[in-house]
Structure 1
């Protein structure tokens, strides 16, 4: 009887528990995928089981985002375009919703400030959650290469300037600031870093890269990923990093953007892929495919790249997204697909998860599935990768942001100060004959000349939103901020970047003659304008007609046949130098330009690339000695396009000269001067062949009376190897600050990854033999040299 009572009691208890659980579930009506305490994988599985094929396809389709909101007199709301898209295409992602530039036609007037941007993304999320039966929030991807490309955000130097800092920790801080500004406005994925090797300076997108060296690119890529993603994607301050462009995009034939790439498998592994591998190992959760093909296979349908290498070999756990319209480009550009459905099938079967365009998958992918060209399993795999990001970032639990935080924390004083610091550290002193720099602040008059001296957009680079003038400090304004009120500043533009109808060289000469010194600011521009036409990918369409030319000679789509200063710039420079006044040339540009004449005749040259919103203050800091420059070239500057390619780490045999000119660049990778001088002493090398490590130490001394920074660089050479290698390869570097007279022992440790090569068997290995270590202040200025033996005894 007692046993029966006990059994009855257990049954009643079980029924009670079940009833309570059922009541709770019915009360909340909470499906498993909405249960934050459930595992991510179980939530994905549950959600997939509830979705139709059409809904799944919609989740991996990413249309252009800026038409999805409407600005009203009282605020912002979702547009009819978004409502229609969500109803008909079940859209799960949007790209560049907050992007503003001439291509999107979003201006300071009709675009969104940070507070309104946050309200817009909230409206998009609210509508998607409340008007779809599954209530899946939208994943929002934004352009973030040197700041979030939205109105009111902080504008940092472009990537080529970031690379010039040789300071990954600083770039990590910058990336964290960009991520915060993006996330506060409702973005979840940040496009960047760009890890393409810039081995072709005629290519229009050099400014978006960290330069020509894969080790420097790797360290910068790691820093960007760590800064973007942080340690907790649910922090509300971090975004998913998207690595661009996979792979080998930066060395197209003839410099043609998106053109085919001819590299062997060994070169691909030894040079072009390591930055991506390093960033993946740092935890990057998104990768974007490149427009180009490699050995005849488009990157957007390259199963070896996306599945075998990226996922199986490197262990990538995120999702792969196409570049804009690159899936459609399999038919339209590469001609490897007969129709849109076939292009979609080629891409998704190769491991490309998400379509940036909204037309590459969508109907085309649905057609491919109906025709049996794509399996439901393949579709589910792609969709699960996108959903995994949404769950891991906490989007189902926290789809909204606080507009007040966006209003208060974006472009605050700390981020502005950080923009100035990145700009200062990026500036490269190329020449300082007779110590013309730093200039004295007691000069009675200074001429400020040139098309880039007082143009806010020319200073900012491509992928920049419209700016209010008070947010940008030009070189002219930076100089005014630096000098006392009684100093006479004589400003004349002199000429445009390209258009010769705007030149006023005589006036510039008169201003120079009546001044004690001349600061002339030349170079290039990536500033888009509303007269420029754009192709469907957003790249600018080149205007070679006789109409008035914009300044734009760099930035996506603006490939060059020469690297000369365009328009009347060299004519202006020569006229100013002929006045006999001390001349400081400041270069604001997106790619290396021909500086042969300037190197011979101009006393002082500063390369500032595109220094961002605080560029004017940073340049003035350097010119007047409030900051001691230590930037280094991340890309070699050629003497002629006829030398190209001219990157420092080309393979043996060493290049011989031409009839007209030698084979050496004008300025080599890693080069940069300082107001200080440094001495290198006492190199010691201790190799441990069994552990495949090498300890390298040396003493560095600031032998000047000025505090400064030195970028010490360690290069390695395999004296003999099974495959042909470069004569030297950067392996490690460090930006070291030393007070006047201070000395410090510097230590580098080379590990297996530093010593490995992609050998004759297409395997990574550390080969036995003699190696040379070169401690240098640039790739062509070795200060200390020694050897070690990696042979096992």
Structure 2
């Protein structure tokens, strides 16, 4: 349980329900907005009518302060729940969204949404009890990210459900419905599909980039998932994007926000800007479509952006004075915002809202962890398995676990992640799954040359204990080292995420200190560069401090005010010389003092690749098999990041091949002649032709969440039969792709790609074999507007129980803009050996339709083909059947 400490007494909170007693019901108080028997719109109108213009303006930004005279509590609209409730203490951490998509399991993704919203409500209820109304504790969840992952270079593609509009739509709808709940009177939480629209990099240009998709691409690729989550799932909010579309910033785009969203799709919720997106209207280095801040604020309101993540809308008072916007126009947006708060039950008596009864104890419960494990297992995609390399044999005596992702916390987390309570790293998961084998570990390589990675446990030892890996950690309650430690243990490495969380029992999350002591030994003599990364430092003020001592002498530290480098990066670097390669005493002291947020620290280094590679080869030579954990890191791919090294820039990638340092490591390991299994951990596609040609097996594990290590180990051992499928295309090289800044879908994704990929969308192997039969249609001749039903059987003809993902593809009559074929149905089924499963798909007119060059969607006449199998028609032993459609039916936008 999160432990909060406050000076003085904890105020009684009236937030969610205002704690109205029966004696003060609205009929007596005269405040209609407090009467739950009244229609919501009347209550909203009454509340807004009581506000001054100045009060109204304060409610138009994401951090909305309280209005005490009206009993309106503070509320922050910004909360994150992409794959777990993020940045607010411990919570269940599911695989990153791209891994969730790899499950191809629509009901499972809905169950994840339900679990995230349950934990969000529990955290909100607990926060309210402590009078906390802060960012990351609200009930408006800025997820899911349903942008189309059109190019593997995009660093935020990991947050999406992949490259296909149909798959993204179905998973997005399920997730949104899971988040928002089934109560007809109140939202459980409000989901916020993002980023509307046509948003997928480059990150470095997102504040000024003008995407100009064709009408066909807009309606065929970029908008379907948004339409589905708004029209079908009834999402209560939506986030507009940074980029412009056809010359107008997305958050000031009348066509997007007025015509498409509110007119065509009848959206009744509220629109939030991405953070700082309204600033981009007037910033000289951004879109600069508005003259100044007040004009930008007016432009946002008049375009339909209801709340501003940022401060620009605080200039609305000036905008009203200058006649740029009216108070009545502001009221339109303000009422949408308060309608949402009423629909969440925040102005009703507690007993009326069943979600108020969700206890904090559900957060991170065993049942939720089990769901995270199930998801991680289902997300595993087997890309290669030659000669029965997998499952691993139980007779193995020595296993070499090598690679930068074998012992990296961030490789479990991805980005926009929850904080896992007891994360198990992959190397430890392997050791737990194979207790009869000796597990040897080496970091092997940095992610890329010149990139910092966590200092590996092999360098660290408690004082006078050279056979034990790690440092002695002493944990102190309070932000200093004055008292005795309340907890002590050996930490295998300093690599921790404690964002708003207590690091150990008995220590308050808002004030604690940790001291690590022991020795550090390099892989070879020399001078090494280190850094202490404060995980959530900026802006940290004086809440985060650390000091590093070597042989008793201070060599690095951080405290406010920091030096310029520290303020910019949060990773002050220092060097240590090891003239003879012998151990040196090290002490790291870290203190955290903040009511909320901020805690987390990693000790990193920037090693030269050769000593790590030599160390890896040495342990590989002693092993029966090599497990190489390679790939990427959310420290390299992500949102607008200040990084530029070979292969990476600004959060995006400039190449899609495995970084050179890791590739060289793989080749050196292969030279030992020992069998190699490659485990990829990443959020985007990698071009791994060399591994495909030279290693026995390749497993794609993504950023797999809190239970990822167990899921990987069980997949390697055979306890888990991998059934995941790729939600993106793995290309052979950049040569197969158009320019990153080109938003045309020509030669992109499996639907329009003309080449041969390394691994196709929908691809994935199993430890068993499935066979399809009995494909039949409800009708082979349709009239436009008819619904089509498809039935078939799938049988497990192998020796192992497993999951099969049946994929149905539609090949339409070809036009100059048609996809070659498109996913039109999918289902994941578990089948025991020898058993047969009957499956059925229903294709509605929208699924049977096409978008023409003008952006018009219609069911059109002609000959069609359906293909069913365990992958794309070109990759599966598929069944196929032809049918025809007569007539034309145009469909709503």
TM-score bin, normalised by smaller chain:
0.7 to 0.9
Is it true that 1:706 corresponds to 2:800 in the alignment? yes
Q: Secondary structure at the match of 1:243?
A: coil
Find the counterpart in structure 2 of residue 408 from structure 1.
361
Moved more, 204-213 or 509-518: 509-518
Kept after mapping to 2: 8 A contact 1:757/1:765: yes
| Structure 2 CA distance for aligned equivalents of residues 514 and 24 of structure 1 | 77
How far has the Cα of 1:404 moved from its partner?
11
| Structure 2 CA distance for aligned equivalents of residues 464 and 521 of structure 1 | 21
Which structure has more RCO (C-alpha within 8 Å, separation ≥ 6)?
Answer: 2
Per the normalisation by structure 2, the TM-score is 0.72
| Structure 2 CA distance for aligned equivalents of residues 480 and 755 of structure 1 | 50
Q: For 1:541-599, what per-residue CA distance to the aligned partner results, in whole angstroms no more than 9, with x for missing partners?
A: 22559xxxxxx969xx4111111222511111111122121211001111112201111
* Aligned CA distance change for structure 1 residues 35 and 741 (closer, same or farther; 3 Å): same
| Structure 2 CA distance for aligned equivalents of residues 584 and 402 of structure 1 | 46
* Aligned CA distance change for structure 1 residues 439 and 353 (closer, same or farther; 3 Å): same
Is it true that 1:495 corresponds to 2:445 in the alignment? yes
Is it true that 1:718 corresponds to 2:655 in the alignment? no
Q: For 1:312-356, what per-residue CA distance to the aligned partner results, in whole angstroms no more than 9, with x for missing partners?
A: 111111100000010011121111111111111211111111101
Find the counterpart in structure 2 of residue 224 from structure 1.
175
* Aligned CA distance change for structure 1 residues 446 and 498 (closer, same or farther; 3 Å): same
Q: For 1:49-105, what per-residue CA distance to the aligned partner results, in whole angstroms no more than 9, with x for missing partners?
A: 111111112212113xxxxxxxxxxxxxxxxxxxxxxxxxxx35xxxxxxxxxxxxx
| Structure 2 CA distance for aligned equivalents of residues 382 and 446 of structure 1 | 60
Q: For 1:492-521, what per-residue CA distance to the aligned partner results, in whole angstroms no more than 9, with x for missing partners?
A: 111221245243112211211211111110
| Structure 2 CA distance for aligned equivalents of residues 151 and 184 of structure 1 | 12
Is it true that 1:250 corresponds to 2:203 in the alignment? no
Find the counterpart in structure 2 of residue 615 from structure 1.
708
How far has the Cα of 1:160 moved from its partner?
0.6
Kept after mapping to 2: 8 A contact 1:351/1:382: yes
Find the counterpart in structure 2 of residue 791 from structure 1.
886
Q: For 1:224-278, what per-residue CA distance to the aligned partner results, in whole angstroms no more than 9, with x for missing partners?
A: 1011001128779x21000110001025599978743231122111111010111
Find the counterpart in structure 2 of residue 261 from structure 1.
211
Q: For 1:475-500, what per-residue CA distance to the aligned partner results, in whole angstroms no more than 9, with x for missing partners?
A: 1111111122x421111111221245
Find the counterpart in structure 1 of residue 279 from structure 2.
328
Q: For 1:444-491, what per-residue CA distance to the aligned partner results, in whole angstroms no more than 9, with x for missing partners?
A: 1111111111111222111235656xx11111111111122x421111
Q: For 1:396-427, what per-residue CA distance to the aligned partner results, in whole angstroms no more than 9, with x for missing partners?
A: 12589999965422111111111111111111
Q: For 1:687-766, list aligned pairs within 5 A.
A: 687=780, 689-690=782-783, 691-721=785-815, 724-759=817-852, 762-766=855-859
Kept after mapping to 2: 8 A contact 1:243/1:288: yes
Find the counterpart in structure 2 of residue 433 from structure 1.
386
Q: Secondary structure at the match of 2:383?
A: strand
* Aligned CA distance change for structure 1 residues 527 and 560 (closer, same or farther; 3 Å): closer
- 1:147 aligns with one of 76, 81, 84: 84
How far has the Cα of 1:672 moved from its partner?
0.5
How far has the Cα of 1:380 moved from its partner?
1.0
Structure showing the higher strand proportion among its residues: 2
| Structure 2 CA distance for aligned equivalents of residues 196 and 277 of structure 1 | 12
Kept after mapping to 2: 8 A contact 1:253/1:260: no
Q: Secondary structure at the match of 2:43?
A: helix
Kept after mapping to 2: 8 A contact 1:682/1:699: yes
Q: Secondary structure at the match of 1:755?
A: coil
* Aligned CA distance change for structure 1 residues 406 and 627 (closer, same or farther; 3 Å): same
Find the counterpart in structure 2 of residue 361 from structure 1.
313
Moved more, 561-570 or 161-170: 561-570
Is it true that 1:39 corresponds to 2:31 in the alignment? no
Q: For 1:155-166, list aligned pairs within 5 A.
A: 155-166=93-104
- 1:311 aligns with one of 256, 262, 266: 262
* Aligned CA distance change for structure 1 residues 611 and 25 (closer, same or farther; 3 Å): closer
Q: Secondary structure at the match of 2:377?
A: helix
* Count of residue pairs the alignment pairs up: 677
Kept after mapping to 2: 8 A contact 1:201/1:255: no
| Structure 2 CA distance for aligned equivalents of residues 452 and 268 of structure 1 | 37
| Structure 2 CA distance for aligned equivalents of residues 516 and 496 of structure 1 | 24
Q: Secondary structure at the match of 2:78?
A: strand
Kept after mapping to 2: 8 A contact 1:478/1:616: yes
Kept after mapping to 1: 8 A contact 2:630/2:681: yes
Find the counterpart in structure 2 of residue 273 from structure 1.
223
Gaps of 5+ in 2: 1-22, 125-137, 451-606, 739-746, 889-893
Q: Secondary structure at the match of 2:62?
A: strand
Q: Secondary structure at the match of 1:231?
A: coil
Find the counterpart in structure 1 of residue 642 from structure 2.
541
How far has the Cα of 1:677 moved from its partner?
0.7
Kept after mapping to 1: 8 A contact 2:203/2:640: no
Kept after mapping to 1: 8 A contact 2:218/2:855: no
How far has the Cα of 1:377 moved from its partner?
2.3
How far has the Cα of 1:297 moved from its partner?
1.6
* Aligned CA distance change for structure 1 residues 588 and 248 (closer, same or farther; 3 Å): same
Find the counterpart in structure 1 of residue 425 from structure 2.
474
Moved more, 497-506 or 182-191: 497-506
| Structure 2 CA distance for aligned equivalents of residues 598 and 243 of structure 1 | 37
Find the counterpart in structure 2 of residue 442 from structure 1.
395
Query: Following TM superposition, where does structure 1 have runs of at least 4 consecutive aligned residues deviating by more than 4 angstroms?
Result: 23-28, 233-236, 251-258, 398-407, 465-468
